[in-house]
Amino acid sequence: MDRAAVFDVDGTLVDTNHLHVVTWWEAFRQAGHHVPMHAVHRSVGLSGTDLIARLLGEDRDTGRDAELNAAHKALYGQYFDRLPALPEAARLLRRLHGDGWKVVLATSAGGAELSALRRALDADDAITATAGADDVDAGKPAPDPVRHALDLAGVPAERAVFVGDTVWDMRAGSRAGVTCVAVLSGGIPRRDLEEAGAKAVYDDPAHLLAELENSPLGDVPG
């Protein structure tokens, strides 16, 4: 019987969260907004428009959202050729694929950014499908990305585990009815992740790989 391991990418498999913090901070600065980096960090994982709304408020000039999104994409794009995969991330995906799991990526990235992340990860042979930002109407914490990933895998929620690094990931997975596992490699505190729905928390992909059989993924029979 099929089972699915659904993964967020930024901060979960590829070490990019702090690059997003710096490039969003600079995009805001260039537009005349002084947003603290810690506030940006807590918003990473949301779609661009949702991140802007959370940081600038609903009474902002929404006509400038596209400009801010474009500025962030241009700044972040400078790193596309050197995005660092987290230790053992590719090995984790290949281990799951070899064990019969359908591995699906569920990410807020799309287009050239998603392509750069997949190149950094270098594990396409283990990935069954990808649910990117262009595939759903609402991003995390809405359940849409996770539900779409399950549809792509053809697996029900009770036969899936979602691995992410932010509270937005945990909320999205929980709303989709999927068991959630978190990693600390995105920089979000353990307690916040647990309160948002994480059943178990690991340091990073290498730690999850080492504890795989005893993790919530080990509870889903093959």
Please state the domain extents for the chain. Answer: 4-16+83-219, 17-78
The topology under which CATH files domain 17-78 is: DNA polymerase; domain 1 (1.10.150)
pTM of the predicted model, to two decimals? 0.96
Tell me the C-alpha distance between 182 and 194, whole Å: 8
CB of 16 closer than 8 Å to CB of 117: yes
φ/ψ of 79, rounded to 5, equals -100, 0
For the chain, the first-to-last Cα distance in angstroms comes to 6
Nearest-angstrom CA–CA distance, 50 and 139? 8
Q: How far apart are CA 177 and CA 181, in angstroms?
A: 13
CA distance 213 to 84: 26
Q: Is 157 within 8 Å of 176 (Cβ atoms)?
A: yes
**Mean pLDDT (10-residue bins), the chain, 222 residues:** 96 98 98 98 94 96 95 97 98 98 92 94 97 79 94 97 98 97 98 98 98 96 86
pLDDT tens-digit series, residues 79-123: 999 999 999 999 999 999 999 999 999 988 888 999 999 999 999
CATH label, 4-16+83-219, candidates 3.20.20.210, 3.90.1150.10, 3.40.50.720, 3.40.50.1000: 3.40.50.1000
Cα gap 10→32, rounded to integer Å: 27
In the chain, the largest separation of any two C-alpha atoms, in whole Å, equals 54
**CB atoms near residue 127 (< 10 Å):** 18
